[in-house]
Amino acid sequence: MATKKTDENTAKMLYRFVVVGDLHLRRTDPLGIVEEDGLNSRLKDKLEALGSIVQYACTNHATHLELLGDIFDAVNPSEKLKELFWLELKPALDANIEIRIIIGNHDRTGLTYNFSGDKIIVQNNIKIISNDYFVDRLKLPNRKKELVVRHIPYGIKEKVTENLHVSSSSCEPDMLFGHFEIEGAQLAPDNAQIRQGFKVEEVPGRLVWLGHIHKFQEFRPGFAYIGSTVKCDFGEVTNTKVFGKIDIYDDGQMKFQYNEIPQRPMYQYTVSEDDVNNLYISEQIPKELKEKGVLIKFKLVGSAEWVKSIDKARFRKRFKNAMRVVFDEEKIDTDRKTNEAAISQKMEDRVAFYVADKKKGKEYTKVGMELAQAAQEKAEEVEA
């Protein structure tokens, strides 16, 4: 996907940007397990994703590596967590790739922000964009004008507004990277839209890529939320995760593309009381749920009594290869159900309704009729 067609025979590529979305590194995660090395498996998934992107940047001769914010899930991460992060970035440091890290809302509390005072930042000339905007100016031999790249950190809206429009029109950015809200952006779990934020037309830049929202989405070609590198919860089960690449040529033209990031398999299934062949009862397990290391969520839908009767521990054991099996419940008020057969005075109607309501096979109808007939005869004897 490109902003313009580029004649590769006449234009020379000068810069290559590799762009990474939200990482949210943290030591604990309810969807993971603590492995033998003491690290949570989901943390390792995120580090592996970052490492693969860094390796891509090195192998493909990137000149710049952009991280769009929310590197960690909270302010003041442990030294061990920071050590793991820098370990994944080391190949980029060794390759002298220019690194820009934008501070996101999870990376800061007021004026306190992650990476503040870290020696590795100074030693490797890494730029942290924390409290104010930062501009890179890229020289282009075949253009009189430099290519302007602006970076904007998370902050109160007034501060972001100031950073968006601080320069004159002659210095409007060709590319803009930031961490803030766009009106109409969709959140991952339920596609709810952000009502307060900047309008797309208010944000300058030929190409605009943002962090903050986990769901990848484009507002126009080259204006997008890159999204998180790893699915953070089951609300993102259907989302595709990507990182970005931008090639800049000596005549100022840009080509960009989104590259998919492989994910740990994640599945969500509904187990309904109304389904006589639901997965809780069925002996057949879908092939994908037998894979090693998968994440599974079962949504239990039925009466309160039925949901309570589910033996979750026994059910979970059927998926021994899964890394984690979790449950969600949607209880239905069955006391309000009405049916003519349920209030019928005919014994056969009442038995048939009961059998159907309890999801029993038709063979139970005969047994039910025999039991009901015996109970009625016993009641008649007592009355006599």
pLDDT 10s digits, 93-110: 999 999 999 999 999 987
Looking at 212, 234, 260, the residue that finishes a domain is 260
So what's the pLDDT on residue 371? 77
So what's the pLDDT on residue 370? 76
Verify that 158 and 198 share a domain, yes or no.
yes
Neighbours of 148 (CB within 10 A): 20
Question: Quick check: 280 pLDDT over 80?
Answer: yes
Amino acid identity, residue 119?
Answer: K
Amino acid identity, residue 352?
Answer: A
Question: Quick check: 2 pLDDT over 50?
Answer: no
Read off the pLDDT of each residue in 235-255 and give the average, rounded to a whole number: 94
Verify that 98 and 186 share a domain, yes or no.
yes
Q: How many domains does the chain have?
A: 3
Cα(359)–Cα(362) distance, integer angstroms: 9
Verify that 96 and 223 share a domain, yes or no.
yes
**160 in a structural domain:** yes
Verify that 234 and 120 share a domain, yes or no.
yes
* 92: enclosing H helix or E strand: helix 79-94
Verify that 234 and 344 share a domain, yes or no.
no
**45 in a structural domain:** yes
Query: Burial level of 364, CB count in 10 A (0-12/13-18/19+)?
Result: middle
Angle between helix 41-59 and helix 79-94 axes, rounded to 10 deg? 20
Amino acid identity, residue 340?
Answer: E
Verify that 243 and 346 share a domain, yes or no.
no
**198 in a structural domain:** yes
Question: Quick check: 337 pLDDT over 60?
Answer: no
Cβ 253 vs Cβ 1: under 8 Å: no
The pLDDT confidence band at residue 334, using thresholds 50, 70 and 90, is: low
Verify that 130 and 277 share a domain, yes or no.
no
So what's the pLDDT on residue 7? 46
Specify the higher pLDDT residue, 367 or 279: 279
Strand partners, 17: 64, 246
pLDDT-above-70 percentage for the chain: 89
Strands 108-109 and 98-102, bridge-based pairing: unpaired
Specify the higher pLDDT residue, 15 or 340: 15
**344 in a structural domain:** yes
Question: Quick check: 1 pLDDT over 90?
Answer: no
Verify that 183 and 296 share a domain, yes or no.
no
Q: What order do you get walking across the sheet with 295-303 strand by strand?
A: 266-272, 295-303, 324-332
Amino acid identity, residue 69?
Answer: G
Question: Quick check: 377 pLDDT over 90?
Answer: no
Cβ 114 vs Cβ 101: under 8 Å: no
Specify the higher pLDDT residue, 213 or 5: 213
Specify the higher pLDDT residue, 333 or 98: 98
Cβ 226 vs Cβ 243: under 8 Å: yes
So what's the pLDDT on residue 188? 74
Verify that 148 and 59 share a domain, yes or no.
yes
Looking at 241, 260, 279, the residue that finishes a domain is 260
So what's the pLDDT on residue 93? 95
* Average model confidence (pLDDT) across the chain: 88
Comparing CA positions, the residue from 236, 237, 210 lying closest to residue 223 is 210
CATH of the domain at 211: 3.60.21.10
Verify that 65 and 190 share a domain, yes or no.
yes
The pLDDT confidence band at residue 383, using thresholds 50, 70 and 90, is: low
Can you tell me which residue has the tokens 């507002």?
A: 219
Looking at 218, 238, 260, the residue that finishes a domain is 260
So what's the pLDDT on residue 368? 74
**6 in a structural domain:** no
Verify that 215 and 96 share a domain, yes or no.
yes
Verify that 292 and 356 share a domain, yes or no.
no
Task: Give the residue numbers spanning the domain of 193.
Answer: 13-260
Cβ 131 vs Cβ 107: under 8 Å: no
**1 in a structural domain:** no
Cβ 107 vs Cβ 113: under 8 Å: yes
Query: Burial level of 112, CB count in 10 A (0-12/13-18/19+)?
Result: exposed
Torsion of CA 212, 42, 246, 159, to 10 degrees: 20
Total-model pTM: 0.81
Comparing CA positions, the residue from 332, 246, 328 lying closest to residue 66 is 246
